[in-house]
Structure 1
């Protein structure tokens, strides 16, 4: 069985890029659900780059051109 990996996304990223209109859990979860494919794609890219270490997805990562908009990751 593969080891676990810690990953998180900042509330600011969900607000800046995925439409969360507040920091309330319900708004953040809805934004995460709406952006799940893009979030998973960027997360996979960061994990590839950092040697499978944990990751916190900050807003700026979603502005980086080298982060593929869709690597075929599905929820």
Structure 2
């Protein structure tokens, strides 16, 4: 399984309080997302404001993408959502 992440900006979803970002698994596009709580708890986001969440994501993009890659390897080419608890127990 080949997993890569395009360098596009994440998309903010205010309803779900997540930042969504794409992954390419083999030749399929798969949606990944990280919760605002995870960005605050583990990546220094100052608030739930979109700008603060995006800034934290960009500053820690590699770590977040590696976490998404780990989950994608476990579940296959299915959407993944990174919660705060994932980082609490994987660090």
Q: Where on the TM-score scale, by shorter chain, does this alignment land: which range?
A: 0.7 to 0.9
Q: Deviations over 1:9-67 (max 9, x none)?
A: 100000000000100000000000111111011000000001221101101111223x7
User: Alignment RMSD, CA only?
Assistant: 1.5
Q: Is residue 2:70 matched to residue 1:61?
A: no
User: TM-score, normalising length from structure 1?
Assistant: 0.81
**TM-score normalized by the length of structure 2:** 0.68
Task: Give the structure, 1 or 2, with the largest relative contact order (CA under 8 Å, sep 6 or more).
Answer: 1
Structure 2 gap ranges (5+): 1-25
Higher strand share: 2
Task: Structure 1 unaligned segments of length 5 or more: list them.
Answer: 68-75
